[in-house]
A and B are shown apart, each in its own frame.
Chain A
Amino acid sequence: MAEKVLMKGNEAIAEAAIKAGCMHYFGYPITPQTEIAAYMAKRMPKIGGTFLQAESEVAAINMVYGVAGAGFRVMTSSSSPGVSLKQEGISYIAGADLPALIVNVQRGGPGLGGIQPSQSDYFQATKGGGHGDYRLIVLAPASVQEMADLTVRAFDLSDKYRVPAMLLADGTLGQMMEPVEIPEPDVTPVEKPWAVNGTKGQRQHNIVNSLYLKPDQLEKTNFERFERYKQIEENEVMVESFMMEDAEYCIVAFGIAARISKNAVIAARKKGIKVGLIRPITLWPFPTDTIARAAEQVRGFLSVELSMGQMIEDVKLASSCKKPVLLCNRAGGMIPSPEEVLAKLDELIQL
């Protein structure tokens, strides 16, 4: 077992990406994720990789598009306003069926917002963000260890399905330090016969493109892509259930909100309240079945979010609104305390 080191979440993402064989990073600085770029700037030149601070977020995502098309593992990272700027490029990458990793260490919005942690880009990450019919594989870490582990997972899934992946973290997870064991994954390169890396006169040239002027062809690529999305939904859901066995109430929360909610669950259990926690680790695909099963068991749900209530819509959908779903939220960079979660839980019990 490797030695555990104390690392910031942002640094853990960067180191894990390198360990996963990512040799190319393009970005533009923005709080609270700049440590990722700083780490890459320090490390990439030493290992023969590329670190490039682009002139803008738009440029950075298009550099990612290019490297992904050439068949290499590549990433960019930003925080909310910067990720908005990247949306056109993300849609193109999705439309060209390219694997890539986009990291969003969220901060409060909308607009330039603030620099404190938030989860208000849930809709943007899971429902599109850019134009057109597409999905991102969205992973939501809740610890520094998961910042590292899910970075590796994101690269693997992205390569496997040729679907861009997003790591959706927040300012707290990016800035906090925890002990972490940096993963040492197997980095045997995935075969990428579609890559535009030179034919050497040996084969027909490949084309990486998202433009299809004939609607029947565009329709066909969309249907084919959605077949892969279906496979991802069937095979790649990740979810943690905590104290759900005998739960009468269920908190649903991801990322830092799940950490706070876990404290609330433990405190409520001490008072004899039978409450559990479902923590989606993949936000897309969403753990619909887990929530649907819980809807048969519990009396109500509480969605805990650092937003005005976004994931709550998926909780309602997954539970078919069979049980009441309440929201416990703070926004704009504020973070709910376990006590606030408990108070809202009391409201749910009183219903």
Chain B
Amino acid sequence: MLTQILIAGFGGQGVLFAGKFIAYKGLFEGKEVSWLPSYGPEMRGGTANCSVILSDDPVGSPIVSAPDVLMAMNLPSLDKYEDACVPGAKIIIDSTLIERKVKRDDVDAYYIPATKLANDAGIPTLANMIMVGKMIREAGCISFDEMESALAKVVSAKRANLLEVNLRALQMGYNYEA
């Protein structure tokens, strides 16, 4: 089993953080994993994306050029990567920021107002993890249990209080019904 995941959005939306969490979760499930960020000179704004590969076999190229799973966190990301997805790909879309639907009819699209849900819940920086929760629900490439150990790897020990809100965000995404 090989799952190639591409997460894309604006810089500052937590794209790399979300990818890191998925990679750690995969690692703890005994999978081979790779995580590759796009890197640029800017810290915020601009575009950010990251390739995460989960595999039963050693990972070859770490670059995801044909995603099985696309998490689109803004419109430019969906515009840029929709066509690159494999047929049957799962596309998770933040419908607060992306008003259009997917154009292709050979992919499965899931719309979730992640940014609005995050704002309403008072956790405005965690739309990314709501998206991850939804992704786990629909793509099933990692399981939705024992999230804490992987979260503990990506949330700094000094800010352990963030662990609980991240978990809440994941659950919001996982349990979301349109």
B-binding residues in A (CB < 8 A): 4, 6, 31-32, 115, 171-172, 175-179, 256, 259-260, 262-263, 266, 335, 337-338
9 A–B contacts from the bound complex (CB under 8 Å): A6-B23, A6-B24, A176-B62, A177-B34, A178-B33, A178-B35, A178-B59, A179-B32, A256-B61
Asked if A176 and B36 make an inter-chain contact with CB atoms under 8 angstroms apart, the answer reads yes
Interface residues of chain B: helix, strand, loop or mixed (majority): mixed
Select which of B20, B23, B27, B61 is within 8 A of A338 by beta carbon.
Answer: B61
Please give the number of chain B residues whose Cβ is less than 8 angstroms from any Cβ of chain A in the complex. Answer: 20
In the bound complex, what is the Cα–Cα distance between A9 and B84 (angstroms)? 27
Chain B's nearest CB lies how many Å from the CB of A225?
39
Asked if A260 and B20 make an inter-chain contact with CB atoms under 8 angstroms apart, the answer reads no
Asked whether B40 is an interface residue with its Cβ less than 8 Å from the other chain, the reply is yes
Asked if A259 and B61 make an inter-chain contact with CB atoms under 8 angstroms apart, the answer reads yes
In the bound complex, what is the Cα–Cα distance between A4 and B34 (angstroms)? 13
In the bound complex, what is the Cα–Cα distance between A31 and B41 (angstroms)? 8
Contacting residues of chain B (154-170) with chain A, CB-CB under 8 angstroms: none
Asked if A31 and B60 make an inter-chain contact with CB atoms under 8 angstroms apart, the answer reads no
- Give every chain A residue within 8 A of B37 (Cβ-Cβ): 175-176
Known contacts: A115-B39, A175-B39, A337-B65. The answer to whether A6 contacts B20 by CB under 8 A is yes
In the bound complex, what is the Cα–Cα distance between A266 and B59 (angstroms)? 12
Asked whether B92 is an interface residue with its Cβ less than 8 Å from the other chain, the reply is no
Known contacts: A6-B20, A6-B24, A6-B153. The answer to whether A175 contacts B61 by CB under 8 A is no
Asked if A178 and B34 make an inter-chain contact with CB atoms under 8 angstroms apart, the answer reads yes
Asked if B33 and A262 make an inter-chain contact with CB atoms under 8 angstroms apart, the answer reads no
Chain B's nearest CB lies how many Å from the CB of A105?
11
Select which of B39, B63, B153 is within 8 A of A260 by beta carbon.
Answer: B63
The 5 closest A-B pairs by CB, nearest first: A263-B60, A177-B35, A176-B36, A260-B61, A262-B60
Chain A's nearest CB lies how many Å from the CB of B10?
19
Asked if A115 and B41 make an inter-chain contact with CB atoms under 8 angstroms apart, the answer reads yes
In the bound complex, what is the Cα–Cα distance between A188 and B34 (angstroms)? 34
Known contacts: A263-B60, A335-B63. The answer to whether A175 contacts B36 by CB under 8 A is yes
Q: Which of B36, B62, B65 has the most CB of A within 10 A?
A: B62
Select which of B23, B61, B63 is within 8 A of A177 by beta carbon.
Answer: B23
- Give every chain B residue within 8 A of A32 (Cβ-Cβ): 39
